[in-house]
């Protein structure tokens, strides 16, 4: 497994709750006009996060496990704006508005409260992944924002603390703090707020030599009809299949961790595919149903099935959108990409390997 490293972390564990360092306002990375710049990559869950037990703290009902990708990074700069009356947020060169802006401002409020620094901020973020299409843009987005905001506001956090912080923006972002494979612990239910918050974070997962690739087939890059946040809430509230899936997902995690440890890509893939299909089954049974999978998704799934019949270890997973990610061996990724490209009928196909964790860029860097 590649080394997990992040620039703003302190080396001492265990981590505690965020604590402020003195904020001088000028002459440091926290100074107005300078700020902090961070880069983070998306992750794709092989054991899915689907369902919260606490909406405010973003605490999940089950553990999840993912691979961080080496493509589609998000780069985010946060600068403090002393005297400004509100946060200014620019996403991909355009001012953020609506729900996207509200979530970022709420996240910055948490950082301000934790750092005890009242200043508003200017946030500029560039995503290289199509947003809102089930391609984990919120994971890389909030992981980069967490690292950049912690840097700009002078919060000194370990990687574990950054994972907890990123979680508050978007659950899946907790895993993008780490490179390679990461597990996000749900934590134990029934605890007080502080203990519950502390108990839910991601950490790296030991993996034997797997040489994995994820072939990403973008069958539709448009925004989705219903956000993953709303869809998972509806699923938990109304789907009779939710609890059975959550129970089986716990077993899936145990099996997946063991398979990763012995480098058994076939079992990792089989578990990932059934876990994802099970998650989509819970949504299809929600009232009203949530359906992210499209005819094009099923065509790609057929191609993945054919690859397996031809002796290629290839396994599909889908998130809150119609796009398909195919787990396979790196040396077979070109062949998988070719089959998937034919099936995806004009859709873009990308090959990703395990990517790095989120990190702060050198001062002023882009
Ligand atoms: C299907 O992390 O986007 O991609 O916590 O509400 O922001 P919020 O949800 P989000 O959900 C991701 C769901 C998923 C599965 C996964 O990544 O584990």
Identify the pLDDT of residue 223: 75
Report if pTM > 0.95: no
Identify the pLDDT of residue 364: 53
Atom of ligand 1 nearest to the CA of 60: 5
Residue from 42, 172, 223, 253 whose mutation best tests the ligand 1 pocket (most atoms within 8 A of CB): 172
Identify the pLDDT of residue 296: 95
Whether residue 12 is predicted with pLDDT greater than 60 in this model: the reply is no
pLDDT tens, position by position, 115-163 = 999 999 999 999 987 655 556 679 999 999 999 999 999 999 999 999 9
Tell me the C-alpha distance between 157 and 6, whole Å.
Answer: 10
CA of 178 to the centre of ligand 1 (A): 16
Identify the pLDDT of residue 131: 59
pLDDT tens, position by position, 309-363 = 999 999 999 999 999 999 999 999 999 999 999 998 888 999 999 999 999 998 7
Give nearest CA residue, ligand 1 atom 8.
Answer: 170
Residue ranges lining ligand 1, Cβ < 6 Å = 45, 48-50, 58, 64, 138, 170-172, 228-229, 319-320
Question: What's the mean pLDDT when you consider all of the chain?
Answer: 89
Tell me the C-alpha distance between 15 and 156, whole Å.
Answer: 10
Place of tokens 């564990």: 13
Query: What pLDDT band is residue 220 in, cutting at 50, 70 and 90?
Result: confident
CA of 49 to the centre of ligand 1 (A): 6
pLDDT tens, position by position, 191-208 = 899 999 999 999 999 999
Tell me the C-alpha distance between 49 and 354, whole Å.
Answer: 19
Contact predicate 70/41, CB 8 Å: yes
Query: What pLDDT band is residue 225 in, cutting at 50, 70 and 90?
Result: confident
CA of 290 to the centre of ligand 1 (A): 15
Give nearest CA residue, ligand 1 atom 7.
Answer: 170
Identify the pLDDT of residue 17: 40
Give nearest CA residue, ligand 1 atom 5.
Answer: 171
- The domains found in the chain, sorted by start residue, are 2-207 (3.30.230.10), 212-352 (3.30.70.890)
Identify the pLDDT of residue 137: 79
Place of tokens 């997962």: 205
CA of 53 to the centre of ligand 1 (A): 14
């Amino acid at each position: 497994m590649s080394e997990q490293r992040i620039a703003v972390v302190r080396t001492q564990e265990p981590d505690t709750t965020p604590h402020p360092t003195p904020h001088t306002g000028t002459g440091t990375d926290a100074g107005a006009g300078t700020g902090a710049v961070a880069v983070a990559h998306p992750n794709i869950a092989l054991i899915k996060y689907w369902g919260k037990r606490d909406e405010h703290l973003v605490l999940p009902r089950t553990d999840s496990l993912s691979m961080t990708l080496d493509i589609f990074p998000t780069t985010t700069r946060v600068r403090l704006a002393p005297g400004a009356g509100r946060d200014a947020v620019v996403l991909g060169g355009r001012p953020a508005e609506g729900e996207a802006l509200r979530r970022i401002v709420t996240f910055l409020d948490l950082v301000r409260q934790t750092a005890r620094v009242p200043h508003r901020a200017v946030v500029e973020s560039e995503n290289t992944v199509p947003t809102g299409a089930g391609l984990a843009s919120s994971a890389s987005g909030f992981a980069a924002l967490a690292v950049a905001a912690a840097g700009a506001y002078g919060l000194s956090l370990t990687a574990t603390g950054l994972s907890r912080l990123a979680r508050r923006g978007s659950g899946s972002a907790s895993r993008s703090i780490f490179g390679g494979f990461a597990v996000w612990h749900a934590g134990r239910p029934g605890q007080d707020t502080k203990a519950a918050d502390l108990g839910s974070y991601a950490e790296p997962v030991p993996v034997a030599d797997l040489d994995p690739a994820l072939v990403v087939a973008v069958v539709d890059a448009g925004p989705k009809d219903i956000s993953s946040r709303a869809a998972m809430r509806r699923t938990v509230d109304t789907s009779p299949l939710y609890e059975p899936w959550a129970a089986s997902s716990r077993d899936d995690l145990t099996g997946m961790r063991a398979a990763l440890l012995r480098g058994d890509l076939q079992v990792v893939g089989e578990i990932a595919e059934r876990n994802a299909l099970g998650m989509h089954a819970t949504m299809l049974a929600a009232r009203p149903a949530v359906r992210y999978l499209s005819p094009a998704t099923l065509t790609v799934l057929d191609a993945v099935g054919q690859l397996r019949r031809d002796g290629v270890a290839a396994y599909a997973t889908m998130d809150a959108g119609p796009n398909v990610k195919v787990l396979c061996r790196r040396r077979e990724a070109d062949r998988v990409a070719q089959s998937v490209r034919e099936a995806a009928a004009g859709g873009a196909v990308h090959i990703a390997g395990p990517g790095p964790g989120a990190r702060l860029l050198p001062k002023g860097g882009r």
